Amino acid sequence: MPEKARIGLDLFGGDNAPNSTLKGAIFALKNNFIDELYLIGGEETLKNDIPQELWSKIKFIKAENSVDNHTKPTEVLKLKNSSIYIGTEMMKNGELDAFVSAGSTGALLAAGTFVTGRIKGIDRPALVIPLPGKGGKPRVLVDGGANAELKPAHFISLAKEGIAFAKFLGIKNPKVHILNIGTEESKGTKLVKEAAEYLTNDPKINYIGFVEGRDIFEKEIDVIVTDGFTGNNTLKTIEGTAYYIMSELKEKIVNGGIFAKLGALLLKKALKGLKASLDYRQYGGTFFLGINGILIKAHGSSDSEAIANALAVANRAVKENIVEKIKDIL
């Protein structure tokens, strides 16, 4: 466990940069969420907006604001002065322990994979997504969308990233399931059937079997492994369904007279919390695991609170050495 976590923050990425991003960083430092901050894309002149007692905890790293959501992912590899390139390069050089950005997902994935580089033994870095579940127990879905197309053997990397992240979330000896359209061995595509063989044969993976979409939220589910296309579609379908249910309930309430309105008022808080917990974009940050460093994508519309949370999570991931957790099971 490193004594001090060196956290980098991309000052340019996201809809509310740089103002809310800086505000979130100041909040995180003031409340000791983090020890040391590298403001990538920040200049000394920013000091005017930062309380003097925090100056010693901040380093300013010059960078260009040259990546946006229209930048092709691979293009970022040529934009060597961009904040995303510099942040991921500093991780590669051991100058940063973690890098948080609300910038383009595709560019971050490309830079994480090719600039920071993969952990030796990991074929495919991937997005690990925490989901809520019955009884309040979290679960992890991987790949959330980094790799649309995968080969069966890649599921080993995904499973190990998922296991490491599940442990980070406090789940002991995480059980691994592959997402499929049936639980019998004969069900599904060639991809999932062959992937199941790979996971069965790896002694470091506690592979249980297939799980169906209807059982994602059941208590016994810890890690759900799937290709990035299926994973991303599953997350978006969860989100779409939650929004649809809420909007329908709202409609029924509006047309339901005073009693329905009263009922809704009483349930409002519960409904709202649930919707947020099912929108994977609402989390402070999404981990991109499998690279030699901690890369966290904050949501594009992150406000200062979301940025502060993402920095806090990054700090905890460094302290708990999530990268080593993956290496341990390789």
Q: Which residues here bind its own copies, judged by CB under 8 A?
A: 133-134, 145, 148-149, 179-181, 187-190, 212-217, 228-230, 232-245, 247-249, 252-253, 256, 259-260, 262-267, 270-271, 274, 278
Residue nearer to its own copies on the CB measure, 299 or 325? 299
Rounded Cα gap, residues 63 and 41, in angstroms: 4
Rounded Cα gap, residues 85 and 98, in angstroms: 14
Nearest distance in Å: CB 103, its own copies:
17
Nearest distance in Å: CB 295, its own copies:
20
Residue nearer to its own copies on the CB measure, 200 or 247? 247
297 contacts 288 by C-beta, under 8 angstroms: yes
Q: Which residues contact 164 (CB under 8 A, 6 or more apart)?
A: 289, 322, 325, 326, 329
Residue nearer to its own copies on the CB measure, 145 or 174? 145
| Residue 282: HSE in the Cβ half-sphere, 13 Å Cα cutoff | 13
* Omega cis (within 30) before 143: yes
Nearest distance in Å: CB 197, its own copies:
17
Residue nearer to its own copies on the CB measure, 170 or 257? 257
Nearest distance in Å: CB 68, its own copies:
14
Tell which residue, 280, 255, 253, has the closest CA to residue 267. Answer: 253
Residue nearer to its own copies on the CB measure, 68 or 248? 248
Rounded Cα gap, residues 31 and 40, in angstroms: 21
Nearest distance in Å: CB 208, its own copies:
17
Residue nearer to its own copies on the CB measure, 1 or 270? 270
Rounded Cα gap, residues 106 and 74, in angstroms: 8
Nearest distance in Å: CB 145, its own copies:
6
